[in-house]
Chain A
Amino acid sequence: MKTTYREALREAIRDAMRRDDRVFLMGEDVGSYGGCYAVSLGLLEEFGPERVRDTPLSESAFVGAGIGAALNGMRPIVEIMTVNFSLLALDQILNNAATLLHMSGGQFAVPVVIRMTTGAGRQLAAQHSHSLEGWYAHIPGLRVLAPATLEDARGMVWPALCDPDPVLIFEHNGLYNLAGELADDAGPVDITRAAVRRPGRDVTLITYGGSLTKTLAAADDLAAGGIEAEVVDLRTLRPLDSDTVLECVRKTHRAVVVDEGWRSGGLSAEIAARIGEEALYDLDAPVRRVCSAEVPIPYARHLEEAALPQTASIAAAAREVVRGG
């Protein structure tokens, strides 16, 4: 069937709410408004205000309430409008959701799912455009997911709810209108492994989320010039599926990491470090990274475009590692 990323997410939430009475959705404008990005449109009408709960603009309170409800046997899906606003709830996510199980000696698991938008590309300026999922991927106790395809948008919510521990789902704002074919029987997917989205032999391009489309386009460009790039979609940013990454790098002997987050201390640094630790002698060239410029993402279109990884910059980096610059 024809669908979009937005509709696939909505169907995933609807399916979960039908399957399990303990599942409910809460967040800013998820009900009457239908969700800031229209993901939950129609769910209020179907499930009612008890299970589709509009919250006040109180990120710390409603994220913490999701954690508390999860501790008390519910299976909340909490929507935070964007990752930028999630910082107002960072204390709850780090000090409670990610910590309680260990600090209580295994007594209190927190099966909460927290969804949020991430990323730039819509000229929304710095306070709506950052990619901070790498920060969350730093935190032990969390599972961090980044669905980049229709299958993953449809399939990650249910396994996230089945996870006994907190799961964060990052939806890049540029993906909601992604359209395509989805199998009628599409359902839950594995949330532990990275996926090879395009096989290749010359270089491995490692990416996730909103950068996958650009990276696949870069791989097409490279193919036209005779370079066969393998594209790895990380899918799960924590715990990282190092095995898949390393297997690909050992095959192609070259790697480029594409990450819309900032370079310094970011997710791309972690991946490059793991390759360096585990596969240095398999490399024929240094690992390269294509990340966002280390600036607050600006409004003006030309500046925003210049700040972000783009198909051309990804392809250029790949050519450099293949041909030695």
Chain B
Amino acid sequence: MKEELELLRQMVRIRRFEERCAELYSSAQIRGFLHLYVGEEAVATGVLSELDPQDSVVSTYRDHGHALARGVPMDAVMAEMFGKVTGCSRGRGGSMHLFDASHRLFGGNAIVGGGLPIAAGLALGHLMRGEPRVVACFFGEGAAAEGEFHEVLNLSALWRLPVLFCCENNQYAMGTAFAKEHAAADLALRAGSYGLAAWSVDGMDVLAVKESARRAAEEIRAGGGPCLLELRTYRFRAHSMYDPERYRDKEEVAHWRDLDPIDRLRNAMRPEFTDDDLAALEAEVAAEIDLAVATAEAADVEPVADLTRFVTSEVTP
């Protein structure tokens, strides 16, 4: 029950955080692109609950869930959305580029497939030093059409790199449905053809995700080489705030909304976990978000004089 409660708390944090972000976007306090993870929370929450602090995470432009589930403080993430210097990337990255060295979060990468080679390299570092670490690399099913997917799966299997590839199959590469993009439907089979263990998981079931991640991470740490999980999920909201959603019908969205990972876990936790318990949890999360927003609003922006800081390191060779 304690474990379920923590998973539920994490998913609710991500959900409510993003709902607040959408409001803030509508009131123009957040700009740029905003890609919401609503509906996909079980994936980040389940996978990252199985990682150790010394492990590493590589994310995509839809990275709020990964950052929060990894433990990046919410106020640092919210401040980044506001473009403040207290943001986890000093306001240089924004929504799509959340970084945190202390949590070994190597960034949201906004080039589809661009994070996979980085993950392979992080894993190579661990392998060469003989460390039993896992690099969790998140990407969407759209990335499975990029060259990097094929190059990196092959390289990782060849060198037995400790990468946990987490393919978040939310059915749409922006507005392009899976079937319009991929001739072969089985991503696990495709990954398996490169010589790594790969299987599909119900990405709307956080307990199933957690269990698969546990199994995969165990194999990877034991030197078994990379694994790929195809996490079948769905984003309930538009691709980004600019998306009019012409490409999918309401019935389909409604079908997936019935599979809401938060409701699902909450229902599984009945009757021990009461409505009062849930209300208390929601109140706690709301307070955390309120504080994050207030802190972000009050924070300073980076001085323009620092614009060119960190183009290169502040030590000379």
Q: Is B299 an interface residue (CB 8 A)?
A: no
Are A95 and B120 also in contact (CB < 8 A) when A69-B125, A73-B125, A74-B128 are? Answer: no
| Bound form: Cα–Cα A112–B120 in Å | 15
Q: Is A100 an interface residue (CB 8 A)?
A: yes
Contact partner of A92 (CB less than 8 A), chosen from B97, B117, B124, is: B117
B151 touching A58, Cβ below 8 Å: yes
- Total number of A residues with any Cβ neighbor in B under 8 Å: 47
| Bound form: Cα–Cα A91–B310 in Å | 20
B310 touching A102, Cβ below 8 Å: yes
Q: Is A70 an interface residue (CB 8 A)?
A: yes
Q: Is B122 an interface residue (CB 8 A)?
A: yes
A103 touching B121, Cβ below 8 Å: no
Give chain A nearest CB distance to B299 CB in angstroms. Answer: 13
Are A60 and B312 also in contact (CB < 8 A) when A68-B119, A68-B125, A159-B317 are? Answer: no
A165 touching B151, Cβ below 8 Å: no
Interface string of A30-70 (1 = CB under 8 A from B): 00000000000000000000100101101011111111111
| Bound form: Cα–Cα A34–B122 in Å | 26
Interface string of B116-151 (1 = CB under 8 A from A): 111111111110110000000000000000011001
Q: What residues of chain B lie closer than 8 Å to A92, measured between beta carbons?
A: 114, 117
Contact partner of B121 (CB less than 8 A), chosen from A68, A107, A141, A192, is: A68
| Bound form: Cα–Cα A96–B115 in Å | 9
**Which single residue of chain A is at the shortest CB-CB distance from B98?**
A104
B317 touching A91, Cβ below 8 Å: no
Give chain B nearest CB distance to A181 CB in angstroms. Answer: 27
B122 touching A72, Cβ below 8 Å: yes
Q: Is B56 an interface residue (CB 8 A)?
A: yes
B117 touching A71, Cβ below 8 Å: no
Contact partner of B124 (CB less than 8 A), chosen from A68, A141, A192, is: A68
Q: Which of B75-105 contact A (CB under 8 A)?
A: 87-93, 97, 99-101
Q: List 18 A-B contacts (CB under 8 A).
A: A50-B128, A55-B155, A56-B158, A60-B117, A61-B120, A62-B117, A68-B124, A69-B121, A74-B125, A76-B121, A102-B310, A103-B93, A103-B99, A104-B92, A105-B310, A106-B90, A109-B313, A164-B315
Interface, chain A (partner B; CB < 8 A):
24, 50, 53, 55-56, 58, 60-74, 76, 91-92, 95-96, 100-109, 140-141, 143, 159-160, 162-165, 191-192
Minimum-distance CB pairs A-B, first 3? A68-B121, A64-B117, A105-B90
A-B contacts besides A68-B117, A105-B310, 17 pairs, CB < 8 Å? A58-B154, A61-B148, A61-B151, A64-B148, A68-B120, A68-B121, A71-B125, A92-B117, A100-B107, A103-B93, A103-B107, A104-B93, A105-B89, A105-B92, A106-B90, A108-B101, A165-B313
